[in-house]
Amino acid sequence: MRRNFLPFSPPAIGEEEIAEVVDSLRSGWITTGPKVKQFETEFSKYIACIHAIAVNSCTAALHLALDAIGLKEGNEVIVPTMTFVATAEVVTYFKAVPVLVDCENDTLLIDSNNIKEKINKKTKAIIPVHYAGQSCAMDEILQIAEKHNLKVIEDAAHSLPTWYRGKMIGSLGDITCFSFYATKTITTGEGGMACTENKEYAERMKIMSLHGISKDAWKRYTAKGSWYYEVIEAGYKYNMTDIAAALGIAQLKKCKEFYKKREKIANKYTQSFKEIPEIKIPVIRENGTHAWHLYVIQLNLKMLKINRAQFIEKMKEGGIGCSVHFIPLHLHPYYKNTFGFKSKDFPVASYIYERIVSLPIYPKMTDEDVGYVIDNVIKIIKENKK
Ligand SMILES: Cc1ncc(COP(=O)(O)O)c(C=O)c1O
C-alpha cells in the first residue's frame, strides 16, 4: 500500500485560480457579473462558436437547451444508455421520454446505426454524448437529424477540448453543453456552458437561466443599470457566479496544457497495456481527437479469475482510486421501472458494463504516479490470470 492514496480525479487548482477568485472577492462582485461575461467571451473564442452562456452545471445547460428547442410533454429524445443520468434526466423534466440507444463495442459511443430505428413522429431531438472525451460519429448523426428534422443537443461534459474532422466540439450541433464539475477537464467547482450559433436559442437560454427576466438582468445592479426589469417567462435559477467564473477564466488558460498532460498519461497507459490480452485498451477513431477526460479499460473476464469489482478492490488495496463510467441507464431502477427498459435490448452496453474500469488520469499525476498505476494493473492481472 502506498503511503498516500492516489485519488481517482482531483482538480488541478493553482495560484492563478486562487488569485482570480480573490480578485472577485475583493471586487465585491461575487455573483453573476463581469467575470462571467469575460469567461463566456473567452470560452466562445476558444471553441470558435458565436454564443456561450455560462450556467451552474452541465445539467442546467442541457435543461435550458431542451427548453430552447421547444421540447414538449410526450416528445421523445434519443439518448445513449452509456452515459451519466443527467443526459436523460433533463428529458423527464418536460414529461418527455428518453429513448435509449446501445453503444459501439469498441468506443462505447452511441451507435449511430441504431438511432434510425428509434425515430418516429414523436422524436424531437438526439443527445449524443462524447463519451470519455471522444466525439461521436457527428457526420452521421447530423445527417440523420437533418433527414428527420430533429435537433442535436450535444452532451460535451467530457469533451473539452475535442476536435472532430478539424472542428472543435461546441461548434457542430444545435446546442452543445459542457461541464465544469470538479472532476472535469477544466473546473469551476460546479458549472456548465451552453454553446450555440443560433441567436434565438442563445437569448432564450440566457433569459431562462435567470428567472425568465428580460435580457442581462444582472446589469440592474451596475452604475449603468436600472432597477426596472420584466419577467417574461417562468424561468430557472441557473446563473453562474463570478467566483466560479474566476476559476473558469484561470482554468481555461491551462486547458491545452492540461490536455497535453492527459494525453501523455493516456499514451503511457496504452503503451504499457497494448500487449496484454486480459485488457482491452480504448479505441480512438481516426476522424478526431480524444480529450482523455476518462481512460477506460475493458477487462477480458474470460481470461481472469476475478471480476471487475474485485479488480477495483485490489487497486484500492494498492492505494489507487478507480471508477466505473457508467452504470448504463437501462440498469437503474427508475429507468427500468418507468420506461420498461430491459438488459437484453442493450446487449453491448450490458456486456461491457461488467468489464469497464476507469483508471486515474489528471494533470497533477506525476510520472511516478502513472508508473505506480501501471505496475499495479499489471501485477493484479498477472496474479489473477486463469
Ligand atoms: C456525460 C455527462 N453528462 C452530464 C453530466 C452532468 O454534469 P454536471 O455535473 O455539470 O451537471 C455529467 C457529469 O458527470 C456527465 O458525465
- pLDDT of 2 > 70? The answer is no
Separation of CA 295 and ligand 1 centre (Å): 16
- pLDDT of 81 > 60? The answer is yes
Q: Which three cell numbers stand for residue 186?
A: 477544466
* Band (168; pLDDT cuts 50, 70, 90): very high
Separation of CA 226 and ligand 1 centre (Å): 36
Atom of ligand 1 lying closest to residue 325 CA: 16
- pLDDT of 27 > 70? The answer is yes
Q: What is the pLDDT of residue 225?
A: 75
CB count within 10 Å of CB 89 equals 17
Q: Over range 333-355, report the average pLDDT.
A: 97
Torsion of CA 59, 64, 68, 73, to 10 degrees: 70
* Band (218; pLDDT cuts 50, 70, 90): low
Give residue ranges with CB within 6 A of ligand 1.
Answer: 57-59, 83-84, 86-87, 129, 155, 157-158, 179, 181, 192
- pLDDT of 227 > 90? The answer is no
Per annotation, catalytic residue among 35, 124, 151, 184: 184
Strand 76-80, strand 97-101: pairing: parallel
Atom of ligand 1 lying closest to residue 183 CA: 14
Q: Over range 166-183, report the average pLDDT.
A: 97
Separation of CA 5 and ligand 1 centre (Å): 25
Q: What is the pLDDT of residue 78?
A: 98
Quote the strand ranges of 241-285, DSSP E.
Answer: 279-280
State pLDDT tens for residues 126-136.
999 999 999 99
Angle between helices 255-273 and 367-383 (to 10 degrees): 30
State pLDDT tens for residues 107-126.
999 999 999 999 999 999 99
CB count within 10 Å of CB 143 equals 12
> Which residue of 58, 66, 85, 185 sits with most ligand 1 atoms within 8 Å of its CB, as the best mutation to test the pocket?
58
Helix or strand run (H / E) with residue 335: helix 333-339
Whole-angstrom distance, CA of residue 322 vs CA of residue 325: 10
Mean pLDDT of the chain: 96
Q: Which domains does the chain have, with CATH numbers?
A: 15-253 (3.40.640.10), 255-383 (3.90.1150.10)
Q: What is the pLDDT of residue 269?
A: 98
State pLDDT tens for residues 183-214.
999 999 999 999 999 999 999 999 999 999 98
CB count within 10 Å of CB 366 equals 9
- pLDDT of 171 > 70? The answer is yes
Question: In the chain, helix, strand, coil percent, each to 5?
Answer: 40, 15, 40
Higher pLDDT, 37 or 217: 37
Atom of ligand 1 lying closest to residue 61 CA: 11
Give the Å distances, CA to CA, from 37 to 184, 206, 248, 306: 21, 12, 11, 51
- pLDDT of 1 > 60? The answer is no
Helix or strand run (H / E) with residue 196: strand 192-196
Q: How many residues does the chain have?
A: 386
Strand 76-80, strand 123-126: pairing: parallel
Separation of CA 285 and ligand 1 centre (Å): 23
Separation of CA 86 and ligand 1 centre (Å): 6
State pLDDT tens for residues 8-23.
999 999 999 999 999 9
Active site residue 184: yes
